[in-house]
Amino acid sequence: DAGVTQSPTHLIKTRGQHVTLRCSPISGHKSVSWYQQVLGQGPQFIFQYYEKEERGRGNFPDRFSARQFPNYSSELNVNALLLGDSALYLCASSLEYGWRVQETQYFGPGTRLLVL
Amino acid sequence: RKEVEQDPGPFNVPEGATVAFNCTYSNSASQSFFWYRQDCRKEPKLLMSVYSSGNEDGRFTAQLNRASQYISLLIRDSKLSDSATYLCVENLNTDKLIFGTGTRLQVFP
């Protein structure tokens, strides 16, 4: 079975531009979360979606938005890119949301974004 | 204070050594914890879940101390392939994972 897939794998943008990152969860998984990982740091939670609804949001500005589609895939959008948005963006999928405290999240390979 | 704190290392150990990492967390209400392993320029992969009674999987043992709010990971008989960054993770019961900065392990021959 395929794991979590993300596209594109790498992306180079300039300040002020907009970017859309895509994620397909593991088949049967209904929850998708997005994380930002800056070099030398652990991943930071951005959003969680379950059944197309936002269930959680991290401490990120409104330039960051996301959505989940009926097939459970998801997009992360970032507007007005800043140099500090350069990072590895990780998508994680899990079977359900929040009902079981030990729900495992499986990560995709990430999209490496460089903002110049 | 960070929610999850880890010693960034690096820990440089010879093959066959036993190495232990500790991680402290600030939210006493957190119910579950994990250790993820991350290789250079790769995604995090689940290594172990951490239960209140401790958890052992082969050469790896994870333990939780709620009174002192720390979790630990013990790796016995280190292999070269264990070289990676080990991320301590707290689950706030909403599937929002809180990651530490990671502890880098380098095993040398």
Q: What is the pLDDT of residues A47-80, one digit of tens each?
A: 999 888 998 899 999 999 999 999 999 999 999 9
- Residuewise pLDDT in 10s, chain B (109 residues): 678 999 999 999 999 999 999 999 998 888 789 999 999 989 999 999 887 778 899 999 999 998 899 999 999 999 999 999 999 999 876 667 899 999 999 999 9
Cα gap A1→A26, rounded to integer Å: 8
Cα gap A77→A64, rounded to integer Å: 6
Instruction: List the single residue in B34, B44, B95 with the smallest CB-CB distance to A43.
Output: B44
- Which token pair is B105? 């392990």
Residue A84: helix, strand or coil by DSSP?
A: helix
CB distance B48 to B34 below 8 Å: yes
Pairing mode of beta strands A111-115, A10-13: parallel
B99–A103: do the CB atoms touch at under 8 Å? no
- Which token pair is B37? 């392993």
CA distances in angstroms from B65 to A13, B33, B46, B49, B81, listed in the order given:
45, 11, 20, 14, 28
Top residue of A105, A106, A111 to mutate, by most chain B CBs within 10 Å, is A105
Tell me which chain A residue has its CA closest to the CA of residue B51: A102
DSSP code at position B73 = E
Instruction: List the single residue in A41, A105, A110 with the smallest CB-CB distance to B97.
Output: A105
For residue B73, the cross-strand partners are: B21, B62
